[in-house]
Amino acid sequence: MIELDAPDWWVQVPVLSGPSIRIREVEAADAAALQELFSDPLVNRYLYPPPASLSKFEGFIEWAKRQREVAKCVCFVVVPNGLQQPIGLFQLRALDGQFQLAEWGFALAPSFWSTGLFEEAATLVAEFAFAIGVKRIEARAVIENGRANRALEKIGAKGEALLRKAFKQNQPQFLWAIVSDEWSAPKTTPASPFEAARLRAQIAKAVSEMPIAPRTVKHQWAPPPYPFFLTEKPDDPPEEK
């Protein structure tokens, strides 16, 4: 279980480390990599529309920072060891005033599917959530999104309800939940030397095939904030100027 020391997380978000990845707060330099990630139809198929331009991704990152500073949410990126640019995003937002009830959303680059990185990242984010006092984490996944539903079940989430006409085009969703006093990190058997080598090779291949996203240049003007898009539909995001 993660133990957090001062300063509190809404002042400085800790870096979460696993065997294969680092989980850190999203930062301004991630905008181009995130734009590239969410431009993939395989990634955005079951999401609300992501920011439509680089400046709007910058606005999203600025918005996430402001929300973290008032303890309403935290946005993490997933960075494999040996790589600097993020290949995934986790959003954890409060559904109540005490941050005891939270919802998360997530996305991972397709080239890293079936590598075990999602389970590793989700476990780290869940442990972070419970360490800051969250009692219940909810997730919603479109029924047709079999990969997301299987992944949630695999990490220990329990299916609780069918939400009718809950997503765009009236698509139904499953409601999943993980409760803190029932949580235990997924138990995995140690990989054999062959399996470990195969996983390292699969991750290394995915890393080598990823285009290097250019780092963004800090503007003299502040981009307009752009709200969450993984866990809820943005309400009339501001127009780009």
What the block records as the tokens of 238 is 């501001």
Question: 3-state class of 79 per DSSP?
Answer: strand
Q: How far apart are CA 82 and CA 68, in angstroms?
A: 27
Phi/psi at 76 (5° precision): -110, 150
Q: Max CA-CA distance within the chain?
A: 54
* pLDDT score recorded for residue 116: 87
Helices 54-69 + 31-38 axis angle, to 10 = 110
Q: Which domain holds residue 42?
A: 16-183
Helix (H) or strand (E) segment spanning residue 152: helix 146-154
Whether the Cβ atoms of residue 86 and residue 185 lie closer than 8 Å to each other: no
67 found inside a domain: yes
CB-neighbour burial class of residue 109 (10 A; exposed 0-12, middle 13-18, buried 19+): buried
Tell whether 152 is covered by a domain: yes
Q: What is the 3-state secondary structure (H, E, C) of 183-194?
A: CCCCCCCCCCHH
Contact 80, 49 (CB under 8 A): no
- Count of the separate structural domains present in the chain: 1
SS3 54: helix
Measure the CA–CA gap between 91 and 89, rounded to whole angstroms: 7
Residue 143: CB atoms within 10 A of its CB come to 15
Read off the pTM.
0.84
pLDDT at 235: 58
Please state the separation of Cα 209 from the chain's center in Å: 22
Per-residue pLDDT of the chain (241 residues; tens, 9 = 90+): 566 766 789 999 999 999 889 999 999 999 999 999 999 999 989 988 888 889 889 989 999 999 999 999 999 999 988 888 899 999 999 999 999 999 999 999 998 888 889 999 999 999 999 999 999 999 999 999 999 999 999 999 999 999 999 888 889 999 999 999 998 877 665 556 766 676 677 777 777 776 665 555 555 445 566 665 566 665 544 444 4
Alpha-carbon span 140 to 69, nearest angstrom: 25
Q: Which residue has the tokens 């990823």?
A: 210
**Lookup: tokens for 232:** 């809820």
d(CA 64, CA 84): 20
Residue 190 has a pLDDT of 58
CATH number (domain holding residue 98): 3.40.630.30
The per-residue pLDDT for 241 is 43
Report in angstroms the alpha-carbon separations of 50 from 86, 89, 112, 224.
16, 12, 20, 15
Q: Residue 85, SS3?
A: coil
Is 74 within 8 Å of 13 (Cβ atoms)? yes
The per-residue pLDDT for 204 is: 74
Is residue 61 a part of any domain in this protein? yes
Q: Which residues sit opposite 162 in a β-bridge?
A: 174
